[in-house]
Every structure is written in structure tokens, then in C-alpha cells.
Amino acid sequence: MGPASNELPGFFICYTIYIFAEKDKATMSKYLSILFLCCLPAWLWAGENYRFRVYLKDKGDDGYRVEEPEAFLSKQAIERRAKNDIAVTDADFPISRSYIDMLSETGVTPVVQSKWFATVVVESPDSTVAEQLQQLAIVDSVKWIWKGNLRVPAEEKGEDRFVPEDEPLCNEYGYAHKQIKMLNGTKLHEAGFQGEGMRVAVIDAGFMNADRISAFDSLRLLGTHNVVFPGKSVFVGDDHGTKVLSCLAADIPGVMVGTAPKASYLLLKSEDSDSEYPVEEDYWTAAVEYADSAGVDVISSSLGYFAFDADELSYEQAALDGKTAMISQAAHLAADKGILVFCSAGNEGNGDWEKITFPSDAAGIFTVGAIDEDKKKSGFSSVGFTIDGRVKPDAVALGTSSCVIGPNGSVRYANGTSFATPILAGMGVCLWQSLPWLNNREMIELLHRSSSQYKHPDTELGYGIPDFYKAYKKEKKNGKRAK
């Protein structure tokens, strides 16, 4: 994505310069320099801004009560907690508006917040403002997590529809047949389970043109939310989420059918594609909290972090314990709320890091690695285990030459645990639809037990390749459990 697509056309700061006399070389040189600088795009010469994560001592009191959860949670979120015997607690309360106002009075701009961690990310052009924030009675600590200038993607869009030019094949799933067959998912679909009634959040970098691609004409859209650029469209800027979504929700028989084509989807953008800083963890956490409050059943996320643009903020492998990184803690907390969370293992298998990335080290979630069509580990797929010895990845799916829909609406093939994850997650959605008496942790255990190397998990494939129809039959045979 070139710079021209990331700035407002014609927004240049220009001044009329009077050149006094040709003989006055110094004056001419001076003013020509000013002219050059002033005609640069504003974002290019503007000073950097800084973002800080402010840890609060508490969240204040706006009068919320656990006995009245409808004031801060959706009906579906309340029902999910009740179904799984999960109590509503003060962790679900929003941060007090008065606290946000107190932070704003220091001159900073609040950006994003987390009720689970009692944190607020604020922005300022002053790199020393942390000292002032630290003096506030409500503040526990302050951490620098980003610097730069955000460039909002242009939102000008045409009205064109994107229809695939691919020749339909003679099978229902088209070019995606291999990836669902590998998981024995077609039989589960044939049994009548394609995700109906299930609420799924997809957290990604952007869903370019997904609102204009014919493969998503039947998409059951719950809503969208842009955490990075609040109020802006999620359908511009980055197409990674478009390809991810297609693995789940594409529905053009003979061309591509995803693994959960009849589920309902909440599309959340949490990634700033132009930079890599710990603020991404705050964005992701906010997206997860949004998904929880909206009452989703499942989260599929194909984002992962470990190295940042500022080396001093990067993680060491010793942090892969599921408890250190904010993003991993957030994933675990989502699982504690009853959400079945699927995360990509990462694509660092061929690099120096090699290991899984954050938040895929979190406990209570399902981490997905990648294999090729010969069922061998994809070279790029990150490996486990966690530093405290837990099996990661949990399982694997096709991630080498995965069938996806690109931003032009046509089939293409892509590599990455980013695509193995939604392929497997979609089948998880359908399986849970078929076994509604299970909770999220029981679902994970069932998938482990139904995978190809359950008795001998390893660092590359985890428990192996899940057999979703086998899992369905195994649990269905026992009948609905008494609650």
C-alpha cells in the first residue's frame, strides 16, 4: 500500500514565497529550502507522537452492579456466562468516565482502554508526559508503548462488485476441498452443522473489499469495529483479514466454501499494518473485550507478536509462559469468560525466533500450526512448547497453499498459520454447534483426544490433525450430559 493511499489528497502545507532578487543567492537558497519543506505532506514533517499505557490503581465507581449486568454486557454475553456458570464480576465493569477525564486534563488524548487490566492508552506529542501522569493519585504506573504518526487509510471506494473468474469445479467446496477434507469436516457439514446460530469474532488487520466480494454475499454480519481507527471502515487498507475470513465464511459452491459458512460474524480490526509496537497488544485486548461484551462464542485471530520496532520493547522467549505478555493474558481471560479462542502459532519456524508467538502461548486457548498437503509441518510454522512445558501448537491444519479469496474476489493460494487457523476454527464452530452442552475447555479437550497423535504430542504438530467427524461421533455417542 503506497503512501498516496494513506494521506488525504491535496493536503499539503504550502506558502507563497517571494524571491527578492536573483543576485541575493543566500536569500534565494533560504526561501527555496523553506518552499521544499513546506510542500511536503503534513504527516512527513510533523513531529512524532507518543503513546503510553497507563495502569490505574482501580477503575473508579460509576455505579455499576454485578446484579445488573445488562448495563454493561449484551444479552448474549450474559447468557454465555450463565450457561457456563461463570459469574459476572467487577472485572466486567467499564473504567469510570471521571478517570478518563482526569487523564485528559493533563493534555493527553485517550486512545483505547481495557476494563480487564484497568489500563488506558493515551497519546501526546510530549515524550515526558509520563512523569506528569505518574503524579496522578489514580495512576499506578506508566509504560511507553508506541511512537510515530498514524496514517488513516483512504476510504474512497468504487461501487464495483468483485466476482470470481475461477472456473467452478465439480465438488461442493471447489478449490478449498482439500483443506476441509483433511479435517474430515465434510461429513460434519453433511450431518447438518455449518455454523448456524454461532457467533464468531474475527480479529485481524483489515478486511479489504469484503463488503463487495460475491463470496461473502450470504455473510451473516453481526457488525464491525475498528479499534485502531475508531469510526473508520474495516473494509479498506489491509486484505489479510479478507483472506482469513474466506477460509471461514466464503460460500460459492464449486469455487470456495469455507468451514463455517452459516455462522454469524463480527469483524474487528486491531492491527496497525504500518508499524509494530506493544500498543498492538492493547488494540487486540480491546477487540477481545469488545467481542466478549457482544456475546460471541468463538474468536479466530491470525495475529501474533514478539519483536517490535523498538528493540528494547521486544520479548524474550522466557516470556512464553502465557502469563507475561498482556496479549496472552487477555486471551486467557477471554477463555475464562467461556469463549473458545483460536490463535495462529506464528510463521517463525524458519527464523531465529522459531517458537510460537504471543498470544499463542496462552493457557485455555487453541493454538493452530500449519502443515502441507502431505501432512508434514510447513517449514515456516512456529514450534512449541511453551516455556513451562505446555503442548503448543494444540493441533494443525493446511497452511501451505491454503485456498483463500483475495481482495479482487478471486481464488488464490496463500501460506501461513494465518490460514490454517480459520480453517480449523471454522470446523470448531460447527462441532460446537453440534455439541452445545460442552463448554469451551471441554471442546478443546475433545479436539485433543480426536487428533492424530493425541498420545504422543510433539513440538511441531502438537496433538496432530483433528478428525472433526470422529470428535462429533465420540461425544454424540455419550448423549447430552446432565447439567
User: What does CATH list as the number for 177-476?
Assistant: 3.40.50.200
CB 367, CB 393: distance < 8 Å: yes
Query: Which pLDDT tens digit goes with each residue over 207-238?
Result: 999 999 999 999 999 999 999 999 999 999 99
Query: Which pLDDT tens digit goes with each residue over 314-348?
Result: 999 999 999 999 999 999 999 999 999 999 999 99
Selecting from 3.40.1000, 3.30.70, 3.40.50, 3.55.50, what CATH number does the domain 49-148 have?
Answer: 3.30.70
Query: Which pLDDT tens digit goes with each residue over 19-44?
Result: 333 334 444 443 433 333 344 444 33
Strands (E) in 183-328, as ranges, are: 199-204, 220-226, 251-252, 256-257, 264-269, 298-301
Summary count for the chain: helices (H), strands (E): 13, 15
Cβ partners under 8 Å of residue 155, min gap 6 = 232, 233, 236
Q: In a 3-state reduction of DSSP, which class is residue 395?
A: strand
**pLDDT at res. 8:** 30
Cis-peptide, bond into residue 193, ω within 30° of zero: no
Catalytic residues, by residue number, are 204, 240, 418
What is the percent of the chain with per-residue pLDDT over 90, rounded to a whole number? 84
d(CA 121, CA 142): 9
The two beta strands, 340-344 and 298-301, are parallel
Domain ranges of the chain: 3-45, 49-148, 177-476
